[in-house]
């Protein structure tokens, strides 16, 4: 596993974040071919990275309510 320095990337909050700051994720568009994702409540914690295609598929599934129970 390679280490990725994300200290200089710009992060943006999910459009699904609520106004009280809970249950938020942040993503970055600054890394070629990858989408880093982190917990906004723990910005110094670990980040997960996904391929651009994998992240796009996940977002499409969420928007399509594929995970609704």
Question: Would you kindly state where each structural domain of the chain is located, as residue ranges?
Answer: 12-63
Q: Is the pTM of this model over 0.85?
A: no
* Runs of H (alpha helix) within 12-68: 52-63
**At a CB cut-off of 8 Å and minimum separation 6, what does 66 contact?**
none
- At 65, the pLDDT band (50, 70, 90 cuts) reads confident
pLDDT tens sequence across 7-60? 999 999 877 666 665 668 899 999 999 999 999 889 899 999 999 999 999 989
């Amino acid at each position: 596993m390679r280490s990725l320095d994300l200290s200089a990337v710009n992060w943006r909050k999910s459009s699904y974040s609520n106004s009280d700051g809970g249950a938020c994720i942040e993503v970055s568009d600054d890394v070629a071919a990858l989408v880093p994702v982190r917990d906004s409540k723990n910005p110094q914690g670990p980040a997960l990275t996904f391929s651009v295609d994998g992240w796009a598929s996940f977002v499409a599934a969420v928007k399509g309510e594929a995970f609704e129970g």
